[in-house]
Chain A
Amino acid sequence: MKDSDKKLYRAKIVDDYVRGKMSRRNFLRNAAALGLGAGVLGAGMMRPQPVFAQNSLEPSKEDLDWVREVSAPFRGTTLRLATESTPPSNAINSQLKQYFEEASGMTVEIEVLPLEQVLQKLTLDIASQLGTYDLYYIDQSWAAFTSRDVFDPREQLADKPDLAMPGWAVEDFLPALVDGIARYEDRLVGVPYDIPIFIMQYRKDIYDKMGFTAPVTLEEYYEQAKAITDEMGPEMYGATGQMKSGHYSLECDWTAWLWGHGGSIFDSNGKFAGNDDAGLEAMEYWTRLWKTMPPGVTGWTWDGQGQSVAQGVAASMMSWGEFFPYFDDPSATKVSGLMEAARCPQPKHALRTVEQTGFGEIPGVGHQGGSSLAVSRNSKNPDPAWIFMQWATSYDTQVLITALGGGTGPTREAVYDDPRIIANRRVGAGTTRHLDVVRDTIAMDMGSEPDLPEWAELANDTIPVRLGKYFAGEYGSAKEAMDDIAQATDAIVSG
């Protein structure tokens, strides 16, 4: 059996087992035949399965006891949260909140929406100071404009010592994420809640066949992508992207290449810097790399990008690590067990420092798209909401989210080392075998977008619309496109 076939088969039997299609004895026999170690077997048994393995993954009793105790005055309260449909929110909504509701006597209503609709709900709520939502799900690019409408968790801890969850501290969250996602000026806009971040995900089988290893430099990545596309196209392309015009995802791809070439979005004077030499070098690189991607890439957000890898059309993608557990799902994709994760290639030129950029931008190839969870200042139930927020972001809950929610990246350092998470490092839906790479990326490669109130407009419209025009061939050159972006951006920023 080839190595890749073996992995695929392993994924299948693990999956069959947890879905109850295969008896435990058959599973063990098959697994033994594959020479699987105890860790993998353990993983199979640990697999979240409400029907078969309910006992292994239940919320911590102590935590729920605490919830029960502090919630006593608030029984009957209804809490509302509007959130993007992300793995943590889904896991909480579908699996975990029932425990909280049972313990607290509160009702938690979670409205799951696509990102742009969450923004719409949020802006209406803030602008009207309605307080319909007690908690806000805040994408990192909205931190600036929501900062004055949410509580800083440090203040909440100080003001309400009796409501503080034992062992819950802001310091336990990865410091890089607190800075990159939750900090705006000197305030914390809640705490980091989830962390999709760019990692390198590639087809091990194809890279092996071509004699490649995971790329170390951006230039090497391009060479590999080009070689694969030349050799195997149009059935297989070396790279893929999320390059839909006018969509936030296009801006995300751009920043990775920009930062990776020593560029930055803003200079220290707060002027757009994407049209300087480094910025143009990045555009030159990106334009070359684009030619190695499937032609449809300019119509895709992360959705199409993920599909192109999942359905075996692209051999690699430098993009959201959240996709990795999905790629391992044999019922949804054709690449289960074939993917490997690695850190992003190293930047071509030294990264700019935060001092050389503007508005708190942090250059780094590993673009992060995290979000935070915070209690709204407009809420009529800030105290119960604060209880829920601590519980939802507590250590134990994050472990369960990561295990149940399909291997999403935790925002707490210690969760990465939890045995329940390590046990899930096997091929199959919801794997966690990429999380070491995620942790390293957060520590070493993370790039964060600037924080300014106009950023939502710049990142969702000004920049991606013009980049889209560039890739549609509506500008004479990259320089022309970047100069146009510079002019538009500076006009918006200067008000």
Chain B
Amino acid sequence: MIVQSRSSRIIRTVVGWTVVAIFAFPLYYWLTVAFKEGNEIFNWPPKVWSFSPTVKNFEEVFGISLGFDFGTKQEVLPGGGDFRMGPRLWDSIVIAVFSTALAVSIATLAGYALSRMNFRGRHHFVAWVLSTRMMPPVAVAIPVFFIYKDIALLDTYTGVILIHALMNLPLAVLLMKSFFDDIPKEIDESALVDGASRWLIFRRIVLPMVKGGMSATAVLCFIFSWTEFLFVLTLTQTGLKTVPVVSSTFVTSTGTAWGNMAALGAAAMIPAFIFIMLVQKHLVRGLTLGSVKQ
């Protein structure tokens, strides 16, 4: 890389921190809302730094007592009584984890074939896979609702997991194909000549080499499943709900319970963030979307 002067390095550091601070600010502010009482959320000028923090919102949202201020749990809450969002967070985790696993598995198999085996119309096939992501979600949601109704998948984990996996497949296939493309073909070819079967080569040789890529793909799938709204809204009823959908519970006929919503939003960032941290090193390295090599 280009050697830089000291002053330009300082400028770069300062600018970098400033830019990220600007991006982080809305999150910080949202976090303060989660720790505010109702009458501190709306102020002019807005209270950004000074307010008396409370964990009330979290206690209400999860129906627990964190023990900081005893006995103050309000009996009927503006949005929906005891929200007990704990299980909803669990729903989100189950759906995101399994749909991610499913999408990555399918995409890995397909990506390998698309990278290694030549067949007529391969380019068109990839374009078609990508084009399935172009369908507006509303147009998919209604037919799937009727299909699910007939095969009893409405309001089930399986149903949502399947549709979330589907939604992520186009991207996952593209990514996985590109990671396989990065591995020299000569490796499998020499093994083939040695008489190893395709499946063995895939499992023993190639798969270990794309682990990083699979992690990067998994992160994206996880994020998209974690944040998806319309499918969960349409395909679930009372059995399960994910965080994005259930957060609208706080929009009530007598106003929005902002503090509670922020508390749920803040709590919901934690599992997702843990997941990202786990695969952090692959993320920045792996997301090249089809390699730089031409």
Do A and B interact?
yes
Please give the residue numbers on chain A whose beta carbons come within 8 Å of chain B beta carbons, in ascending order: 19-21, 48-51, 80, 82, 84-87, 89-91, 93-95, 109-115, 117, 120-121, 124, 128, 130, 132-133, 196, 302-303, 306-307, 310-311, 313, 320, 322-323, 326, 329-334, 404-406, 429-430
| Contact mask for chain B residues 234-251; partner A; CB cutoff 8 A; 1 contact, 0 none | 100110000000001111
Checking B38, B72, B149, B252 against A86 with a beta-carbon cut-off of 8 angstroms, the contacting residue is B252
B256 within 8 A of A: yes
**Are B234 and A86 in contact, CB atoms less than 8 angstroms apart?**
no
**Are B76 and A110 in contact, CB atoms less than 8 angstroms apart?**
no
Residues of B within 8 A of A110 (CB): 238
B137 within 8 A of A: no
B184 within 8 A of A: no
Question: For the complex, what is the distance from the CA of A82 to the CA of B155, rounded to whole Å?
Answer: 14
**Are B254 and A124 in contact, CB atoms less than 8 angstroms apart?**
no
Query: Nearest 8 A-B pairs (CB), nearest first?
Result: A94-B81, A332-B38, A20-B71, A109-B238, A85-B252, A311-B42, A114-B251, A86-B253
- Given known A-B contacts A21-B71, A326-B254, A112 and B78 have beta carbons under 8 A apart: no
B79 within 8 A of A: yes
Residues of B within 8 A of A330 (CB): 39
Tell me the minimal C-beta distance from B104 to chain A in angstroms.
31
Residues of B within 8 A of A87 (CB): 253-254
Checking B37, B248, B250, B252 against A332 with a beta-carbon cut-off of 8 angstroms, the contacting residue is B37
Question: For the complex, what is the distance from the CA of A430 to the CA of B254, rounded to whole Å?
Answer: 12
B129 within 8 A of A: no
Checking B71, B76, B78, B238 against A51 with a beta-carbon cut-off of 8 angstroms, the contacting residue is B71
**Are B78 and A326 in contact, CB atoms less than 8 angstroms apart?**
yes
Residues of B within 8 A of A326 (CB): 78, 254-255
B75 within 8 A of A: yes
13 new A-B contacts at CB < 8 Å, known A91-B81, A196-B253, A330-B39: A51-B71, A85-B249, A86-B253, A90-B77, A111-B237, A112-B79, A114-B248, A114-B252, A124-B142, A310-B38, A311-B39, A326-B254, A332-B38
Question: For the complex, what is the distance from the CA of A51 to the CA of B37, rounded to whole Å?
Answer: 22
Checking A21, A49, A133, A322 against B254 with a beta-carbon cut-off of 8 angstroms, the contacting residue is A322
Closest to A84 in B: B253
Question: For the complex, what is the distance from the CA of A136 to the CA of B77, rounded to whole Å?
Answer: 23
Tell me the minimal C-beta distance from A49 to chain B in angstroms.
6
**Are A334 and B74 in contact, CB atoms less than 8 angstroms apart?**
no
Please give the residue numbers on chain B whose beta carbons come within 8 Å of chain A beta carbons, in ascending order: 37-39, 42-44, 70-72, 74-82, 142, 145-146, 149, 154-155, 233-234, 237-238, 248-256
**Are A115 and B39 in contact, CB atoms less than 8 angstroms apart?**
no
**Are A306 and B76 in contact, CB atoms less than 8 angstroms apart?**
no
Question: For the complex, what is the distance from the CA of A463 to the CA of B152, rounded to whole Å?
Answer: 40
Tell me the minimal C-beta distance from A132 to chain B in angstroms.
6
Residues of A within 8 A of B74 (CB): 19, 331, 429
Question: For the complex, what is the distance from the CA of A82 to the CA of B248, rounded to whole Å?
Answer: 14
**Are B254 and A332 in contact, CB atoms less than 8 angstroms apart?**
no
Tell me the minimal C-beta distance from A381 to chain B in angstroms.
14
Residues of A within 8 A of B238 (CB): 80, 109-111
Question: For the complex, what is the distance from the CA of A41 to the CA of B72, rounded to whole Å?
Answer: 20
Closest to B76 in A: A404
- Given known A-B contacts A93-B81, A307-B42, A311-B42, A406 and B76 have beta carbons under 8 A apart: yes
Question: For the complex, what is the distance from the CA of A85 to the CA of B80, rounded to whole Å?
Answer: 6
Residues of A within 8 A of B149 (CB): 128, 130
Tell me the minimal C-beta distance from A325 to chain B in angstroms.
8
- Given known A-B contacts A85-B251, A130-B149, A303-B255, A49 and B75 have beta carbons under 8 A apart: yes
**Are B80 and A90 in contact, CB atoms less than 8 angstroms apart?**
yes
**Are A332 and B78 in contact, CB atoms less than 8 angstroms apart?**
yes
Residues of A within 8 A of B234 (CB): 120, 124
**Are B248 and A124 in contact, CB atoms less than 8 angstroms apart?**
no
- Given known A-B contacts A91-B81, A114-B251, A302-B253, A19 and B71 have beta carbons under 8 A apart: yes
**Are B72 and A323 in contact, CB atoms less than 8 angstroms apart?**
no
**Are B233 and A120 in contact, CB atoms less than 8 angstroms apart?**
yes
**Are A117 and B81 in contact, CB atoms less than 8 angstroms apart?**
no
Question: For the complex, what is the distance from the CA of A173 to the CA of B145, rounded to whole Å?
Answer: 38
**Are A405 and B249 in contact, CB atoms less than 8 angstroms apart?**
no
Question: For the complex, what is the distance from the CA of A448 to the CA of B259, rounded to whole Å?
Answer: 34
